[in-house]
Structure 1
């Protein structure tokens, strides 16, 4: 055996032979195989090595032994030469694949979603639409990867065989097989004509079964599901949806990851616009997420965490902001962020995972109740894992956590002396969780109801929420508070705030909090207001630079905050117009409800004491 044959892997040698095997049933002889190998090697190849290579190719199912003089290899099951030339096959493949129209990707993806029953009902079907668009991207990317391999080995048929033998050749292995290997893989779904819902579900489950990363993500929806004997999405409408999605290729050469990612995010936002009260459970307005990400300034390689990640938009915004900053400074090679999140709602958890993959970002999204069972723990201690940056938009004013939940915590999230919020709102409980999830130099940004900045301030007696807020102010952990415009969020017309935490405030900012009242920086939209690009830039620059501006921003020292009974709402300190600024009615109502709830708790505790002493 030659030194070449001994030192080179049989698999690598086999790859030299595979492109030589004709598709039309003709043979490639032993002599031709040996000549090609020796030409590539520059030295003789032994008969034993030749036999090993042929055996390996036959074992892979790529070819079979050719009979007759000269031996060699031939395509499996093909006895006569094909009359179809390679050029015709290429033309057939090109026409079979769907082409991109001039329509923008965002409008196309929304039109596809509306193909079921129009824009009004599209959000109802998001759990069907999002996995299908996601799978279309998987199929088209898989096609591109097959074409790349086919260029090396001579045909898509051989490429399929190689990928079947070694699924690691592609990122996501798809077990779907069109009758004609030159047809797009998506055609397996597109050509379904009977029992379409059952067929789509079967294909989705097969893909998930072949890819552990996709289990529970694309296979959780039954496209054949019924309610009271009626199909939730009948085959006619499902067929219309599939056909609409089929009109555009979503492959690597057609759409870059950031573009398809933005379009997928756009689709999620459109679902949020029509989703009513439930929309806030999975989506934060893009401009709010962008401001948060740009102010936090994540650096390459940092670990970013969202304990209530919804669709994953906030951690994705952090990665995009980091990429943009690196490119702006001329840096081309940098480590991506490490993204982590936890989500309670299974369908939303699946949405977040699809969103991450379609953005071509890698992360870890866990499912479960973060407040009661946070999944990210330190390996040795079992305590909370800490991160460089934390972002979140938890559901506002959650009222289902009791004192027992806080008191029983074993993860050091609620430090002694800080107290914990009452049952009427868990807002500051989430802030405590986020603080405990930060490393020593960590920073966080959290979206909250405006009442979280002021409830309890100015009232006689104690207030549990104010007690926690006071602890954060006294420990100088709050860096900035941003007051947002009203009617931005999809589940409420009320404004919100963004609270920025910093465990390691610069010396020149210690003992102070920067307040920004951006309530007037918006444009009217339909159905929601939005912050224009110029407004995003203005707010971001103001927060980063701590730049004071009349009717917009102020630096407030801790003494002034104490004088105002730890009210940290920017609207308390910054008036945006000549007329007197009034607090939003929703904020006042929420505060009254909190006061009433606390009064009931106090009355209950007093009655228990009186009963114990016999009065």
Structure 2
């Protein structure tokens, strides 16, 4: 350990039990320092790299302190190089390297070292140098992790200082002081908070967690399986898959997680998110999944996985494949919308033995004509589509239109009672209205999952979510149109609407009664009487 490093101020060493609410409050206080410099929609590009940098630095410092404490005699018997080898073999899982090595200002690329220099000019440049040094020193784990870092050149030093000082009030973020459940929860909190502020632009990296949980609960990832998201955003579906497995008593950490996203900064958010949740068996890549899928088999075809999940961008224009493309079963999706192209990619990505997929898309995929109709027909003829789940409207930041979940199974792997047909589940009435978007409660999700597993049994889904299994011949008669209202009558929805009308009437009636009572009081005080009450 160099003398320069020894003189660095120690990171926040507060050792106290911190609640989820407390760390969330401290993180938001740090993020709120940015309010004078940028809109909330841009906070993520600054806060996530800084938060993860502090987490890495606190973890490295903690492990280094343990190494020094447990090996006090080593400096007397080993060279610096030998001590370094032992530390990184037995204590550290990544490196926080030196920057400006050989200069008077030689120091580590750590949070605490740079924080000690906030009063000196060029803070943004030093932050950028430190983060890039960490990426370079750990190419297998942290390559391009922190994104473009454009903000290090444009953010005023006084603002950056305020953010870092506010974030430093958080106790040391290593696992002996703060569980990964708390850290991961804090990261998810920020994702949600930034999404609320970003509005429709948030759809690029955040899928509402109730929708994610609904999909992964149905697909049920198992120990040591692979899970793949071709449009992974912040990595929420991959994390939820591990969390759902853990909740069932499985080993969430055993999953092999894969994701691809076209936006480098968003891919970086996903990598940091996975690390914060203590999930290390992952590979997140950057690129256009439809044009250049990164994950491939030796023969050049797309790689295959046990579970495939996605919430792709809706109605995205794209450069269509050639008809010879191996993924283009049933035809090629039109240039105007890549919705069915994403489905085709996901179907090609399912393992033949037990592969399954769940994708969130707008209702247009259920009934559009032209080439989407031909692809839809092929999927039905091959008996790949297992279920269609209609979701409530206004669940998403990126769109107000109603969406649905399509569930697919690898050829020949449906259970007997689901073969040669499609299960329709109408959960469109199961939501609670909110200011920015509607939400599904835990009970809404549980009832929808129960309806799916009941398979159309009228007693399934606790009788609250309409379901119906429709055989292939009936769908064929309807021209392979999958519109939910064709197969499930709207009686339940009408009943729900009637209930809402009754509730509205009761509120209006109470308001009228209060108004009349006030009016009669005013008239009585004015000496006017004789009105019927």
TM-score, normalised to structure 2's length? 0.81
Which residue number corresponds to residue 515 of structure 1? 424
Match of 2:144 among 216, 226, 243: 216
Distance 1:366 1:311 in 2: 12
Whether 2:44 is the aligned partner of 1:126: answer: yes
Which residue number corresponds to residue 515 of structure 2? none
Whether 2:409 is the aligned partner of 1:482: answer: no
Task: Encode CA deviations 1:470-520: one digit per residue, 9 max, x unaligned.
Answer: 111121111111111111111111121110001110112101211111111
Structure 1 position 299, deviation (Å): 0.5
Task: Encode CA deviations 1:254-277: one digit per residue, 9 max, x unaligned.
Answer: 221232112212212222222233
Structure 1 position 420, deviation (Å): 2.3
Task: Encode CA deviations 1:31-50: one digit per residue, 9 max, x unaligned.
Answer: xxxxxxxxxxxxxxxxxxxx
Q: Is the 8 A contact 2:305 2:355 kept in 1?
A: yes
Tell me how large the CA RMSD over aligned residues is: 3.2
Whether 2:486 is the aligned partner of 1:567: answer: no
Gaps of 5+ in 1: 1-60, 63-75, 78-88, 226-230, 328-332, 457-462, 582-615
Structure 1 position 570, deviation (Å): 2.4
Which residue number corresponds to residue 532 of structure 1? 441
Specify whether residues 396 and 155 from structure 1 end up closer, same or farther in structure 2 by C-alpha distance, changes over 3 A only.
farther
Q: Is the 8 A contact 2:391 2:426 kept in 1?
A: yes
Specify whether residues 164 and 219 from structure 1 end up closer, same or farther in structure 2 by C-alpha distance, changes over 3 A only.
farther
Specify whether residues 161 and 243 from structure 1 end up closer, same or farther in structure 2 by C-alpha distance, changes over 3 A only.
farther
Counterparts of 1:70-469 in structure 2 under 5 Å? Answer: 103-117=21-35, 121-154=39-72, 164-166=84-86, 167-169=88-90, 170-175=92-97, 186-192=111-117, 193-194=119-120, 195-212=122-139, 213-218=141-146, 220-225=148-153, 231=154, 233-248=155-170, 249-326=172-249, 336-361=254-279, 362-379=281-298, 381-402=299-320, 405-409=321-325, 412-415=326-329, 418-440=330-352, 441-456=354-369, 463-469=370-376
Specify whether residues 486 and 118 from structure 1 end up closer, same or farther in structure 2 by C-alpha distance, changes over 3 A only.
farther
Q: Is the 8 A contact 1:205 1:219 kept in 2?
A: no
For these two proteins, the number of residue pairs brought into alignment is 470
Distance 1:156 1:468 in 2: 67
Structure 1 position 527, deviation (Å): 1.4
Distance 2:96 2:68 in 1: 16
Q: Secondary structure at the match of 2:34?
A: coil
Distance 1:99 1:385 in 2: 46
Q: Is the 8 A contact 1:483 1:571 kept in 2?
A: no
Q: Secondary structure at the match of 1:259?
A: helix
Q: Is the 8 A contact 1:516 1:543 kept in 2?
A: yes
Distance 1:551 1:289 in 2: 19
Structure 1 position 368, deviation (Å): 1.0
Structure 1 position 185, deviation (Å): 5.0
Distance 1:294 1:153 in 2: 47
Distance 1:545 1:120 in 2: 49
Distance 1:442 1:569 in 2: 25
Task: Encode CA deviations 1:177-206: one digit per residue, 9 max, x unaligned.
Answer: 9x9xxx995321322222211111111122
Q: Which protein has greater RCO, CA pairs closer than 8 Å, 6+ apart? A: 2
Q: Secondary structure at the match of 1:385?
A: coil
Whether 2:468 is the aligned partner of 1:554: answer: yes
Specify whether residues 96 and 325 from structure 1 end up closer, same or farther in structure 2 by C-alpha distance, changes over 3 A only.
closer
Q: Is the 8 A contact 1:300 1:337 kept in 2?
A: yes
Distance 1:322 1:489 in 2: 25
Which residue number corresponds to residue 450 of structure 2? 541
Q: Is the 8 A contact 1:285 1:489 kept in 2?
A: yes
Distance 1:120 1:157 in 2: 48
Specify whether residues 156 and 429 from structure 1 end up closer, same or farther in structure 2 by C-alpha distance, changes over 3 A only.
farther
Q: Is the 8 A contact 2:109 2:131 kept in 1?
A: no
Specify whether residues 334 and 117 from structure 1 end up closer, same or farther in structure 2 by C-alpha distance, changes over 3 A only.
closer
Higher CA-based Rg: 1
Distance 1:217 1:445 in 2: 28
Distance 1:310 1:156 in 2: 46
Task: Encode CA deviations 1:219-256: one digit per residue, 9 max, x unaligned.
Answer: 6314432xxxxx3x111111111011111121112221
